[in-house]
Amino acid sequence: MKIIMLGAPGAGKGTQAKLIAEKYGIPHVSTGDIFRANLKAGTELGKQAKVYMDKGELVPDELTVKILLDRVAQEDCKNGYVLDGFPRTIPQAEVLKKALAELNDDVDFCINVDVPDENIIKRMSGRRACVKCGATYHIEHIPPKKEGVCDNCGEALILRDDDKPETVKNRLDVYHKQTQPLIEFYGDKVKNVDGTKDMKAVFDAIVAILG
pLDDT digits (tens, 9 = 90+) for 67-95: 999 999 999 999 999 999 899 999 999 99
Instruction: State how far the Cα of 7 lies from the Cα of 11, in Å rounded to an integer.
Output: 6
Task: Please tell me the predicted confidence (pLDDT) of residue 156.
Answer: 96
Q: Cβ distance 111 to 191 under 8 Å?
A: yes
| Active-site residue list | 13, 88, 127, 160, 171
Task: Please tell me the predicted confidence (pLDDT) of residue 48.
Answer: 94
pLDDT per residue over 28-60, tens digit each? 999 888 988 999 999 999 999 999 888 888 889
DSSP string, 190-210: EEEEETTS-HHHHHHHHHHHH
Phi-psi region of 110 (alpha: psi -120 to 50; beta: other; left: phi over 0): beta
Of the candidates 146, 106, 139, the residue with the CA atom closest to the CA atom of residue 124: 139
- Cβ-based neighbours of 63, under 8 Å, separated by 6 or more: 45, 48, 49, 52
pLDDT band at 162, cuts 50/70/90? confident
pLDDT per residue over 100-147, tens digit each? 999 899 999 999 999 999 999 999 999 999 999 989 999 998 999 999
Phi-psi region of 114 (alpha: psi -120 to 50; beta: other; left: phi over 0): beta
Domains of the chain: 2-115+169-210 (3.40.50.300)
What's this model's pTM, rounded to 2 decimal places? 0.86
As a whole number, the mean pLDDT across the chain is: 94
